[in-house]
Amino acid sequence: QVQVVESGGGLVQAGGSLRLSCAASKSMFSINAMGWYRQAPGKQRELVADITSGGGTNYADSVKGRFIISRDNAKNTVYLQMNSLKPEDTAVYYCRVTTTRFYWGQGTQVTVSS
């Protein structure tokens, strides 16, 4: 069992920045990948960005050039730096940890006002 805890959401004006954090209760060396997903009202959950144990990253086209995913192995934590935020980035952001199965966090709300 892996506990996943997100933090860092909030309300920001368009053009602003936020940093999300996702802490896992398992060593990063036992984790295959960690990723950020988001779900806006009335829409399906979608991948925002993920990072593998090898350091490879993947981004949704809508956030490329604005968001950066990174990790701190010593803290078992992954970060999502979100810059140049847009109102369409408003959603609940979820962290997912992949080992031999998926573990989800409880989600953190990000609201971008115009």
The predicted model gives 87-103 an average pLDDT of 96
Residue 28 pLDDT greater than 80, yes or no: no
Pair type for strands 33-39 and 67-72: unpaired
The mean of the pLDDT values for the chain is 95
The predicted model gives 91-103 an average pLDDT of 96
Query: In percent, how much of the chain has pLDDT > 70?
Result: 100
- Please choose, from the candidates 10, 38, 9, 12, the residue with its C-alpha nearest in 3D space to the C-alpha of residue 112: 12
**d(Cα 104, Cα 5) in Å, to the nearest integer?**
9
Yes or no: say if 23 and 75 are a contact pair by the CB < 8 Å rule: yes
